[in-house]
Homo-oligomer: A and B are copies of this chain.
Amino acid sequence: MTIKLSRDDDEKRVKMFKALAEVKRLEIIRYIRQTDREMTCGDLGEIIGMDKSNVSYHLKILYEADLVKVSRSGQNKFAQLREDTFQTFLPGFLDSL
């Protein structure tokens, strides 16, 4: 099945590009992608050098742009990339990152 995209998706594209237009969010995406083990937001903050509230803020923006999904286990939260979104709107991007 082929996906039909158009002007109607521009609002979604804008949200997505805004989410990607930040060095720290690119770092987050790269890190999520390269790490197999699950990781907490705290881990992310430590690695990227951000306050936990800031990690939370950035993850929310990525989530609202459908770029990541999040699962919870106990107190911890784990983020995964939404490969479907990348595939539909930015095929080939992740491999270039």
* A interface, CB within 8 angstroms of B: 5, 7, 10-11, 13-14, 17-18, 20-23, 26-27, 30, 88-93, 96-97
| Contact status A5-B97, CB under 8 Å | yes
On whether the beta carbons of B90 and A93 are closer than 8 Å, the reply is yes
Identical copies in the complex: 2
Specify the chain B residue showing the minimal Cβ separation from A91.
B92
- Judged by DSSP, the binding face of A is helix
Q: A23–B17 Cα gap in the complex (Å)?
A: 11
16 A-B pairs (CB sep. < 8 Å): A5-B96, A7-B27, A10-B23, A10-B26, A13-B26, A14-B22, A17-B17, A17-B21, A18-B18, A88-B96, A89-B93, A90-B92, A90-B93, A90-B96, A91-B93, A93-B93
